[in-house]
Amino acid sequence: MKSFVHRPMSDLGNNYEGLLDLLDVYEHIVLTDDVLDNCVLLKAEVFEKYLKAAEWARKEEEKSKLKATITVEVDKKLLLDATIILDEIGLDVETYVVMGLKAVVRESRIPFEARADGDLGE
């Protein structure tokens, strides 16, 4: 096994798989940052953990870019009552709303009976 290899830190975001391949060949990785004008020497096993954490963080960031925020005004008592019931079954309001939206998409309909008289099947 070779002692070390040098790679720029910019490779971390651009060449994840290629950097993982280096771990089979080298005992240490030297990362340099031209912007900060410094370098880091890492054991390959530490570097592998760092790369996996960086990849996980990158994927989480990508997922968060796909999320949207909604704001809904509801009666305080209705929200409190619903929160208590949902808590009893192990759900929070946000999870329940997401489940409801997924049901609408999956079933291509409102997942409960809605009537013109305003009764929502209660």
Q: What is the model's pLDDT at position 113?
A: 78
Confidence (pTM): 0.46
- Stronger pLDDT, 79 or 37, i.e. the higher one: 79
N- to C-terminal Cα distance for the chain?
A: 70
Q: What are the contacts of 23-28 at 24+ separation with CB within 8 A? A: 23/47, 23/48, 25/1, 26/1, 26/2, 27/1, 27/2, 27/3, 28/3, 28/4
Across 87-99, average pLDDT:
93
- Write out pLDDT tens, residues 8-27: 555 555 555 666 666 666 66
CATH number, domain 68-122, options 3.40.50, 1.20.1340, 1.25.40, 1.10.1220? 1.10.1220
Query: For the chain, where do the domains classified as CATH 1.10.1220 start and end?
Result: 68-122
Match 């070390």 to its residue by tokens: 4
CA dihedral 88, 92, 93, 97 (to 10 degrees): -110
- Write out pLDDT tens, residues 59-85: 888 888 888 889 999 999 999 999 999
Q: What is the model's pLDDT at position 23?
A: 63
Across 89-116, average pLDDT:
88
Percent of the chain topping pLDDT 90: 31
Contacts of 83 by beta carbon, 8 Å cutoff, 6+ apart: 92, 93
Res 96 pLDDT > 90: yes
CA dihedral 107, 110, 114, 116 (to 10 degrees): -110
What value, to the nearest 5°, has the Cα angle with vertex 97 and ends 94 and 98? 85
